[in-house]
Structure 1
Amino acid sequence: MAAVDLEKPFDYVVVGGGTAGLVIANRLSENSDVRVLVIEAGADRSSDPLVLCPGLVAGLYGKDEYDWNFTSTPQPTLNNRVINQARGKMLGGSSALNFLMLLYPSKGNIDAWAALGNEGWDFDSLAPYLRKFATVHTPPQSSKDLCGLTYHNEDLAKGDGPIHVTFSEGYNVTNQAWLKTFAGQGLEVTTDPRDGRALGAFQNQASIDPVTHTRSFAATGYYNPEVAKRSNLVVLTETLVEKIVFDTTGDEPVATGVEILTKDGEKKQISANLEVILSAGTLQSPQILELSGIGSKDILEKHNIPVIVENPSVGENVQDHPIVCQSFEVADTTPSGDVLRDPNVLNALVGMYQASGAGPLGQSTISVAYSPLVDSSGIVSPEAKKELLASHEHTLTTPDAQAIRKLVESSDEATFQFLLFPTQVSIPDVPKSMAEYILPVLPENYITVMTILNHPFSRGSVHISSPDVHAAPVWDPKYNSNLLDMELLARGVEFVERLVDKSTPFGKLLKDGGKRQPEGLVATDLEKAKEIVRKRQISVFHVSGSCAMKPREQGGVVDARLRVYGTKRLRVVDASVFPLEPVGNIQSVVYAVAEKAADLIKEDRKSL
């Protein structure tokens, strides 16, 4: 890349070249009169085979060149275990190391965002952006044959966005049995999940390019070679933003640029004529705000950081989908990804993939199910649901909690997301990285059923531990700190016993009398189910909410146009602004929010 004049002001400075940041940069730089700079702490790995090959994702985790590799504080409700949180440290951010799952939020879920005081953020307003980011490809015949896909609505598949969305070729009897087993529980999907209403098991799509069988993510989609040629778009990699710079001479502090640390260790200031847009992610956007003097007075003063805007909500309101992973030994004839522990098998599949993109390494075969509240008896009755929620009423006093309560009470909304994961999962007390969760260490072959709570009531935090930008922030998710989360999760774990019962199509694929993880624990009652949660719950890597979009007096950090309260010319655009955790995997919502944000920024430029 030619030398860039960093002395000349940019119009927009985007802090973080991740999933959201590259969307913003792409859309703003469509106007050749606008000069845009993206600053990314990681490198450009968009041609790295480990990043591009879907089946080699485990090779990214815990490596400094790819992964920030955060670790939580010990969690009291999880036997004081610490939880790993992989975050992408490269161009494309976490879209470069996620599991490629493309799911969509529910209508009630996003409508709740608007109801919390965010005008323009209802489902119908966001829906066009949920289409805009993607090019959705027609399912191959093999997918239709194995998974039905009768609910797939081609009218919702229009779009020519940068991210490729596909069904894989590699589904097998486990996916088929999964779908049939949920149908037997009264949970068969009849409507396309992308339309905002869906309960039951379905085959989700993945962010994979069907031609090249490679990961389709923000760096390859929104910063492709054609976009990279734009003379008005500059992307600086391996560069840290130390803080946002403000002009504090007026009524409100005005963001005028950023202070950076180059990869050569040189400090520089870069000016922004119009706006600074913070897209560093849920764990690092609040870190940068705090390092810049925006946050809790107590925290800032503790680290000798001058207070520019006092807002104790910065870094609070953190939400994350808890996920409980139960692994079951499979019958000898049942496929399991655990066969990849054999180097000969892995090398053969790598060779197949390198030759033509063929085989399992270019596919994603995880299956999904959405369900209302369920337990050992199946779908929980409305009366029993209300009784459970009423018993925790004293903890449900905030607008957030009331909104979630309404979603859990609804017969149309998914309290749980269940995942069929093709390999074993291990849960060490102190994992070195996410790879320790998913690399097979047990000699038997397993598949894993995962139980996710879509709408956790618990709220965590993330705050700076030091005025040094190199020091990782302290992330405390406070899982199950609202005890209702534990009650709900345990009931989901009880329901898993219905799925793996040997009378079901799914149960028939498991080894009769085979091992299970956690070993020796069967959810025959609620207390045993809670013990399984304590032993086997981790994060599903959907952290959000730390710079929440809501009214300031209700804990908001940004307004409905994503502008940081108490400042001018500063926005946050990433998952940290989500007021409530969306249903399912959040990749689609991050893209959609960023697309909508780009339009808001363009609109506001006209009034400057």
Structure 2
Amino acid sequence: MSIPHTIQPEYDLIFAGGGTAACIAATRLAETFPERTILVLECGPTTKDKKEHIQPGMYMSHLAPGSKTTVLHVAPPSEDVGGRAVGVPIGRCVGGSSSINFMVYNRPAASDLDEWEKTFGNEGWNAEKLIPLFQKSETYELGPDMPTHGSNGPLKVSYGGGPGGSGLGVWKEFVDVGSQIEVDRPAAHEGNGFYEGSVNVFFRTPKWISSEGRRSDVAHHYLYNKNLPNLTVCDGCIVNRIVIKDGVATGVEYLFNNQVHDSAPQTILTAKARELVIVSGGTMGSPLILERSGIGRKDILQRADIPLVVDLPGVGEGYQDHILLCPLYLIDSREKTMDALFRGEPATLKAAQEQWEADGSGLMSTNGVEGGLKLRPRLNELPELGPEFMEYWDTEGFADKPDKPVLSVGPLAMGLNSSDPSLASLKAVSIATFLCYPISRGHFHISSSNPCATPDFKSGFLSSPGEVAALRWGYKKGREIARRLPSFRGSFEPAHPKYPQGSAARETETQPVPLGAPKMEYSKEDDAAIDEFLRGAVQTAWHSLGTCAMKPRDQGGVVDNKLNVYGVKNLKVADLSIAPGNVNCNTYSCAIAIGEKAAVVFAEELGGVCV
């Protein structure tokens, strides 16, 4: 047996987890306090200089069976999702999901951020304070002088495709067609400006990809590109629990992950922290670390035979995700998509690699997520959605927050998640739709004191009828755009509702209909067929958050606005699990902002100013 890392017995700060927020905060603090030693323990493998974490087009490889960079959590079957067991894969590697995600650049509404302060009492967590941190992290290569965007940050943003382009054109069809058939929803250059002007406009989707065709992950752009002798990052280290003595976090217990280091000993080791322990295991990691440490709901800890240290019922509760639907549409065989690349077809893979190596262009330099619409019903459209939706609309307070969309809609140049063999000889696109503010809630808890045991996971997907009504409306909107795209060649029937015989909603077209063609009409039976289809087809958007919420303890909170875990000194949480309310974006952007904010908060407490 061999020891994979030399880990000192004591550090000033220890991060339990090495994902997006941890890499940012640890690096910022190491630069601010060169005299302090910092340890980051990441469960998964290193990502340094590996093509699968640098080339954007390789991202689907991380979802392949046997991947060591993700871990799949599966919820029990639920009738809310057609009796299926929904799975959620999460990043497990240095850099976390920033190293493996879809790289979609999509930012929240200002009111999302303001609610973190106004609704949940977190002073300093508002749009005015947080937007500069979004800017600090990025170089927006599409126009660095644009309001709310950054011009000198470590992460670059472009349309992808590298200097020679990607060859994917579905975004232009989507924007052109959608902006013509949707009343008062024009084409726009900007769909990520935080405010009302970014809602109900069609736009080309920016990406966390540089103009040179490289992924903008935090590991390579915050961490690996710097020589910080006071910062130690160790991969393949599972944090078992936080060591707590007399109400103070004093260190962590860890062991080596034999899936990463197969010859490492499996003994429990300890590292002490002189000043702070920061739990940063993500939405599906941080609550488990806290519960194994004796922090959580009493009955859950008792079932796992773990002594109670702090009775904190909010740990692991409030799980949320953006619920995603991806119906498929066939397109002209001459159009370019990502499917052949994702299937690993030798000729396509070889050509894409060679083009990327030559100039950073082509399919390997993009993600296939091409256009967007943050969709919010106009007042005259609300009756279309029905009374169940209106209850949801009122519960979420949409009427007074015009910067909040209900759905995010956009084309994917791929037949996402379809294993149907017939698609290998066809070309298809997905019109992806996800619900921005689900009111369904789930949970994520330990089932055992063993850190490798299967967790107790409930997704909560579609437990609210209002969510189904919203997605039904979004499906119809996407369908009307799809059937007018110049490249449209019909619906891929297995990935659509099974309408009743004789229904006017049954589609037989194999060519696009005119822009001015009448829109589909749906009966109650048709709507029921759509609802059944939705429940059987929705999936994760890989946007999990909320299981260690930053809100008052008596409201189910786990941390305060300084990210302190209630009831324990020198223990903090910094990752998407702290989000007290949902956000309408692909959550990578918020994880970045949380990492930057955490660095500011911790630096102030340590007597400095974050660089």
Q: If the length of structure 1 is used for normalisation, what is the TM-score?
A: 0.87
CA distance in 1, matches of 2:357, 2:558: 47
Tell me the secondary structure at the aligned position of residue 13 of structure 2: strand
Alignment of 1:108-507 (within 5 A): 108-116=111-119, 117-138=121-142, 154-168=146-160, 169-170=165-166, 172-184=168-180, 185=182, 186-190=184-188, 192-197=190-195, 198-199=198-199, 200-211=201-212, 213-226=213-226, 229-248=227-246, 253-262=247-256, 263-340=264-341, 341=343, 342-374=345-377, 379=378, 381=380, 384=383, 388=387, 392=391, 402=395, 405-407=396-398, 410-426=401-417, 442-501=424-483, 504=484, 506=485
Q: CA deviation at 1:281?
A: 0.5
Tell me the secondary structure at the aligned position of residue 85 of structure 1: strand
- Deviations for 1:189-234, whole angstroms, at most 9, x for unmatched residues? 54733331211221122122333x22120110111232xx322111
Alignment of 1:62-141 (within 5 A): 62-116=65-119, 117-138=121-142
The structure 2 residue matched to 1:510, chosen from 467, 472, 488, is 488
Is the 2:189–2:203 contact (alpha carbons within 8 Å) kept by the matching residues of 1? Answer: no
Equivalent position of 2:40 in the other structure: 38
Structure 1, unaligned runs of 5 or more: 140-151, 428-435
Cα gap change, 1:335/1:264 in structure 2, threshold over 3 Å: closer, same or farther?
Answer: same
Cα gap change, 1:36/1:495 in structure 2, threshold over 3 Å: closer, same or farther?
Answer: same
Tell me the secondary structure at the aligned position of residue 299 of structure 1: helix
Question: Greater CA deviation, 178-187 or 336-345?
Answer: 336-345
Tell me the secondary structure at the aligned position of residue 317 of structure 1: strand
Is the 2:25–2:599 contact (alpha carbons within 8 Å) kept by the matching residues of 1? Answer: yes
Q: CA deviation at 1:442?
A: 4.8
**1:59 counterpart = 2:61:** yes
Question: Greater CA deviation, 187-196 or 33-42?
Answer: 187-196
Is the 1:73–1:474 contact (alpha carbons within 8 Å) kept by the matching residues of 2? Answer: no
Is the 1:108–1:407 contact (alpha carbons within 8 Å) kept by the matching residues of 2? Answer: no
Is the 1:328–1:516 contact (alpha carbons within 8 Å) kept by the matching residues of 2? Answer: no
Cα gap change, 1:43/1:173 in structure 2, threshold over 3 Å: closer, same or farther?
Answer: closer
Counterpart residue identity of residue 224, structure 2: N
Cα gap change, 1:171/1:366 in structure 2, threshold over 3 Å: closer, same or farther?
Answer: farther
CA distance in 2, matches of 1:181, 1:206: 22
Q: CA deviation at 1:273?
A: 1.1
Counterpart residue identity of residue 534, structure 1: R
Q: Give the number of equivalent residue pairs.
A: 562
Cα gap change, 1:385/1:355 in structure 2, threshold over 3 Å: closer, same or farther?
Answer: same
Equivalent position of 1:148 in the other structure: none
Q: CA deviation at 1:329?
A: 0.8
Is the 2:301–2:308 contact (alpha carbons within 8 Å) kept by the matching residues of 1? Answer: yes
Q: CA deviation at 1:581?
A: 1.7
Q: CA deviation at 1:490?
A: 1.5
Counterpart residue identity of residue 220, structure 1: H
Q: CA deviation at 1:338?
A: 2.9
- Deviations for 1:330-350, whole angstroms, at most 9, x for unmatched residues? 123333333444432222222
CA distance in 1, matches of 2:577, 2:225: 29
Cα gap change, 1:164/1:27 in structure 2, threshold over 3 Å: closer, same or farther?
Answer: same
Tell me the secondary structure at the aligned position of residue 69 of structure 1: strand
Identity of aligned residues (%): 27
Counterpart residue identity of residue 604, structure 1: E
Is the 1:88–1:97 contact (alpha carbons within 8 Å) kept by the matching residues of 2? Answer: yes
Is the 1:454–1:584 contact (alpha carbons within 8 Å) kept by the matching residues of 2? Answer: yes
Q: If the length of structure 2 is used for normalisation, what is the TM-score?
A: 0.86
Tell me the secondary structure at the aligned position of residue 60 of structure 1: helix
Cα gap change, 1:442/1:527 in structure 2, threshold over 3 Å: closer, same or farther?
Answer: farther
Equivalent position of 1:48 in the other structure: 50
Tell me the secondary structure at the aligned position of residue 60 of structure 2: helix
Equivalent position of 2:519 in the other structure: none
Cα gap change, 1:519/1:494 in structure 2, threshold over 3 Å: closer, same or farther?
Answer: closer
Q: CA deviation at 1:246?
A: 0.4
Is the 1:373–1:408 contact (alpha carbons within 8 Å) kept by the matching residues of 2? Answer: no
Tell me the secondary structure at the aligned position of residue 154 of structure 1: coil
CA distance in 2, matches of 1:10, 1:445: 54
Counterpart residue identity of residue 459, structure 1: R
Tell me the secondary structure at the aligned position of residue 205 of structure 1: coil
Q: CA deviation at 1:265?
A: 1.7
Counterpart residue identity of residue 391, structure 2: H
Cα gap change, 1:231/1:592 in structure 2, threshold over 3 Å: closer, same or farther?
Answer: same
Tell me the secondary structure at the aligned position of residue 392 of structure 1: helix
Counterpart residue identity of residue 120, structure 1: G
Counterpart residue identity of residue 483, structure 1: P
Tell me the secondary structure at the aligned position of residue 281 of structure 1: coil
CA RMSD of aligned residues (A): 2.6
Is the 2:385–2:473 contact (alpha carbons within 8 Å) kept by the matching residues of 1? Answer: no
Structure 2, unaligned runs of 5 or more: 257-263, 500-504, 507-521
Counterpart residue identity of residue 158, structure 1: G
Q: CA deviation at 1:408?
A: 6.0
Equivalent position of 2:540 in the other structure: 539
Tell me the secondary structure at the aligned position of residue 591 of structure 1: helix
Equivalent position of 2:509 in the other structure: none
Question: Greater CA deviation, 465-474 or 536-545?
Answer: 465-474
Equivalent position of 1:433 in the other structure: none
Is the 1:368–1:417 contact (alpha carbons within 8 Å) kept by the matching residues of 2? Answer: no
**1:562 counterpart = 2:563:** yes
CA distance in 1, matches of 2:332, 2:103: 28
CA distance in 1, matches of 2:437, 2:298: 30
CA distance in 1, matches of 2:98, 2:423: 27
Tell me the secondary structure at the aligned position of residue 215 of structure 1: coil
Tell me the secondary structure at the aligned position of residue 26 of structure 2: helix
Q: CA deviation at 1:39?
A: 0.5
Alignment of 1:11-22 (within 5 A): 11-22=12-23
Counterpart residue identity of residue 40, structure 1: E
Counterpart residue identity of residue 247, structure 1: K
